Amino acid sequence: MKPSSLLSRRKFARRTIAALGLAMVGFRMEARAETSTRHRFLCCDYQGNKVAIIAADGSIEWEFAAQTPQDCWFLPNGNVLFCYSNGAKEVSRAKQVVWEYKAPAQAQCHSCQPLPGGHVLVAECGLSRLIEAGRDGQVAKEIKVASQAKNMGHQFRGTRKTADGHYWVCLMDEKKIVELSPASALLREIPVDGFPHAAIKLPDGHLLVTLGTAGQVIELDADLKIVWQLGENEVTGNPLRLPAGCQRLANGNTIICNYLPGPFMGKQPQAFEVTRDKRVVWEFTDHARFKTVNQIYLLDAPGDGKKSEVLR
């Protein structure tokens, strides 16, 4: 055998072994979950600079490049809405941009939400405001948010408008969640022991909150008492590094996006589903194609995001 031919075969063998090794890692992580649950979902990969739809078998159905996307929604028309560093876009499955809001240059956009009537809620760090953008891409409404954050890029994370017209805003660096009226008046201020990334109002009035680098997910009742929580090291194989996006399912389970910063990147599942009694029934791990999954929208769960039927 010629040396060049032998070298080629050795390179091929190494690549094959590496590929099999990666597949085995993914298989072992899936096998650790207690059931054979699979999910089809949309997600944001913040450091990977893309949004993507992942099939139940783990293959990528669709993806679209975006600069540090933070939030994403699957719309009833099949399009994908997401916010990125300097605005928000609605993109068709044919990858055509059918709507866009371009934020001012000094703004950073870390949250968005489709609203009834076609408007889109966008949170703008740096400008201390939320805006509702119309179908013409222009600001239809502005909601000012008082913020004392020294790092303007850390003013807001998760922001949602509920069916009653109120706005729920995670003031990350200030370690609090605020509820604002439709006219932007402060209705309530909820201090939390961590840097909130998501605050989801549940149908029973509870609030589901992820606390970022504090490594906790908590559920507060109407009296702000913790009625459920997941601590940093309560789930074997899924230590909470930076819980970011989350979604509460109809069966009471919770999907948690475990953003993996710095030294943790590539070393554990990027998202998982956990029961009320803290059993993992589904995990997502794909370090070859995704870096930091910070938001997930399940596509096999019922509900219309525009009607506040998707709890995320």
Q: How many domains does the chain have?
A: 1
Q: Contact, 114 vs 132, CB < 8 A?
A: no
Q: Rounded distance, CA 264 to CA 293, Å?
A: 13
Burial level of 211, CB count in 10 A (0-12/13-18/19+)?
A: buried
Tell me the residue range of the domain where 285 lies: 33-307
In-domain check, residue 5 = no
Which CATH number goes with the domain that contains 39? 2.130.10.10
Q: How far is CA 203 from CA 12, 35, 136, in A?
A: 55, 27, 32
Q: Rounded distance, CA 85 to CA 103, Å?
A: 9
Sheet containing 80-84: order of strands:
71-74, 80-84, 87-91, 97-102
3-state secondary structure of 22: helix
In-domain check, residue 40 = yes
In-domain check, residue 11 = no
Q: Residue 196 has which token pair? A: 């909130």
In-domain check, residue 19 = no
Question: Tens-digit pLDDT profile for the chain (312 aa)?
Answer: 443 444 344 444 444 434 434 333 343 334 355 567 899 999 999 999 999 999 999 999 999 999 999 999 999 999 999 999 999 999 999 999 999 999 999 999 999 999 999 999 999 999 999 999 999 999 999 999 998 887 877 899 999 999 999 999 999 999 999 999 999 999 999 999 999 999 999 999 999 999 999 999 999 999 999 999 999 999 999 999 999 999 999 999 999 999 999 999 999 999 999 999 999 999 999 999 999 999 999 999 877 877 778 999
In-domain check, residue 110 = yes
In-domain check, residue 49 = yes
